[in-house]
Amino acid sequence: MVNVFIIDDNIYEANKIMTHINRISDDIRVIKLSTDINDAIRTLNNDEKIDIILLNLKMPLRNIALNLDKIMPKKRQKYKKSLIIKLKDKNYVEKKYIINEMVYTILSQQTKICELCNTINKIILEKNYFEKRKILKLNIQNELHYLRYNFSHKGTQYLEDIIYIVYTKYSNVIVNMNKDIYPIIARKYNKKIGSIKSNVIRATEAMYYNCEENTIKEYFNNYDIQKPNIKTVINTIILKIENKSLYIKR
């Protein structure tokens, strides 16, 4: 369930939006209304259930910006790209005062409720995508930790990025590492392809000597205890993640 907080000094308009949202969706509900910015800031600093904020107040944007700055830093991170602001004029000159990580978009007060609901759905989709991406990266790190990869080694960092790219962009496709993958990592870190490749190889060699023999045998189904090559490491980690159902592709 996605919880919406409406901050609006027009209680009639706020109730109309709340009724519409609560009627059309089983997954989105308005859990709180406020007509006072100070009360709203207190709520945002203390309530753990709010996901999306709709703000429509008849006050200068500079005042809105000053009040948003009263929200605690950790809460601003929680509400990142979760705030919809409605203005009398979408292109109002004071729009420049809203430079805040919480703001997803600024809409005109004339925006229809159905369009507002579409915007809320976009926020939800993006939040879900970023959450899935975060989970996938965490799962890749967990697998590398299990294999005793050293995260202080640049090659491990490169390998983590490589696995993420292969998983999200080349699933079930034969990948040419030199042509398709290493150039992407080289551009990201402003390094030569040869440097990226050699660092990944060295990190994997270190893993092979640091990881327990039985762990390597079991993980790679390699009972001859041969050193796995880079592609084997990548494909095995991806297979482990898929088998554990730890990540759902978008």
- 106-129 pLDDT tens trace: 888 888 888 888 899 899 888 888
Quick check: 26 pLDDT over 90?
no
CB 116 within 8 A of CB 17: yes
Q: Is 235 exposed, middle or buried (0-12, 13-18, 19+ CB in 10 A)?
A: middle
Q: What is the pTM of this model?
A: 0.64
Nearest to 117 by CA among 54, 58, 172, 169: 54
Averaged confidence pLDDT in the chain: 86
Q: Which of 66-80, 93-107, 115-129, 234-248 has the lowest mean pLDDT?
A: 93-107
Residue 117 to residue 20: CA distance in whole angstroms: 9
Residue 43 to residue 8: CA distance in whole angstroms: 14
Written as six digits, the tokens of 99 are: 């430079």
What is the pLDDT at residue 171?
A: 64
CB 53 within 8 A of CB 28: no
Nearest to 54 by CA among 97, 104, 92: 104
Tens-place pLDDT, residues 129-187: 888 888 999 999 999 999 999 999 999 999 999 999 999 887 656 688 998 899 999 99
